Structure 1
Amino acid sequence: MAEELFMRCRTAESFSDRPVGEDVLYRLYDMLRMGPTSGNCSPARFAFLKTEEARQKIRPALSLGNVELAMSAPVLVIVCYDPLFFEKFETLNPMPGLRDWFAADVGLSDETAFRNGTLQGAYLIMAARALGLAVRPMSGFDAVMVEEEYLRKQGWRANFLVALGYPEGDVSSPRAPRLPHEEACLWL
């Protein structure tokens, strides 16, 4: 499984028109939510844009290079984070004083929400791959426009987008280069 997820899967270049069932999306969330976060803070939130209407509303917020692929994906996920994640600590981590510690330090809570929400977004990518879905993460978009259109009521913040669907065509294209351990790791 690890070999498949990390070595053989590739970033999607195109998607088939096969729909992604709601049952698959529920299973996807059930898998990704089990990944660890610091203090079990679980700040990530996910907006699944499944309908053509919902996806079209995001079009003006997308960078030009992301429009075609985002619009062709059966599902576009806005990976978000809740800046008030600590309000869920009664359920997630009822350690005395923890909620108040984060509530009193906006810098700490913002950093924690962003970092752990990003981590959970990576879990979404890996869970999607495990379920046989193709993924394409994207950061080229206007977050303020996305938040205004989709997230204002919840108060969530947009982090990045993930196009989801079933792969189309050859998905075995050559992998882009990665840095060797000598350039990316310290062995202390």
Structure 2
Amino acid sequence: MSLVLDPAAQDLLFREAHTANTFSDEPVTEEQVQAIYDLVKFGPTAFNQSPLRVVLVRSPEARERLVAHMSEGNQAKTATAPLVAILAADNEFHEELPRLFPAFPQAKDAFFSERTSRESAATLNASLQAGYFIVGIRAAGLAAGPMTGFDPAGIQKEFLDGDHTPLAVVNIGKPGDGAFYPRSPRLAFDEVITTV
């Protein structure tokens, strides 16, 4: 059975897409980032939750502050990528729910009055949105280098606040020379899928 999505688009988004480790110096524009967000904001989440927050790191001073909190193996590529995005979960996302899920305006208080419930929901749904964001980067013809090798407390203190939890740092741009490592294996269908 074939997929509805054109094979070239399947390759762009998944089969031929790799995590990039080097980038060209071609800039990534605000217009490109807005087009990416305007596409991926429609990805499904529970109750239309939108806890993902994105901090674009553009200035040399901010980049230097960020690189200091990256793991050693991630520092050089983060220092040289055309654009870096900090993806974070807003643990107070529930304040937007009455507007985002008008069919159930009491969801804000019914499900998310406790901070621990909000943090759990924010992490799950912002992580879904982070995945959509990476696919959106690929849809824009750019490469993404998502990383979790960083000091979360340092990034939170430097760029966020106590209501925002950093999830990933993503280098964004056109791939450079030697950008991609060989494709690593993935689990097969029968190793993952169970029918009951």
TM over 0.5, shorter chain:
yes
Shift of 1:102: 3.2
**What is the aligned-residue RMSD (CA, Å)?**
1.6
- Does 2:101 align with 1:93? yes
Q: Tell whether the 8 Å contact from 2:97 to 2:105 is kept in structure 1 after alignment.
A: no
Aligned to 2:123, which of 110, 114, 118?
A: 114
Shift of 1:69: 1.0
Number of equivalenced pairs: 187
Tell me the TM-score normalized by structure 1: 0.93
Q: Which AA in structure 2 matches 1:147?
A: Q
**Aligned match of 1:136:** 145
Go from structure 1 to structure 2 and tell me whether the alpha carbon gap of 1:122 and 1:46 turns closer, same or farther (over 3 Å shift): same
Shift of 1:173: 5.2
Tell me the TM-score normalized by structure 2: 0.89
Q: Which AA in structure 2 matches 1:49?
A: V
**Aligned match of 1:82:** 90
* Structure 1: runs of 5 or more not aligned: none
Q: Tell whether the 8 Å contact from 1:44 to 1:82 is kept in structure 2 after alignment.
A: yes
Shift of 1:23: 0.9
Q: Tell whether the 8 Å contact from 1:8 to 1:172 is kept in structure 2 after alignment.
A: no
Shift of 1:112: 0.9
Aligned to 2:45, which of 31, 37, 57?
A: 37
Identity %: 34
Shift of 1:103: 3.4
Shift of 1:67: 0.5
* Structure 2: runs of 5 or more not aligned: 1-8
Structure 2 residue matching 1:91: 3-state secondary structure: helix
Shift of 1:170: 5.4
Go from structure 1 to structure 2 and tell me whether the alpha carbon gap of 1:158 and 1:90 turns closer, same or farther (over 3 Å shift): same
- Does 2:169 align with 1:161? yes
Shift of 1:172: 6.5
Shift of 1:36: 1.1
Q: Tell whether the 8 Å contact from 1:28 to 1:131 is kept in structure 2 after alignment.
A: yes
Structure 2 residue matching 1:121: 3-state secondary structure: helix
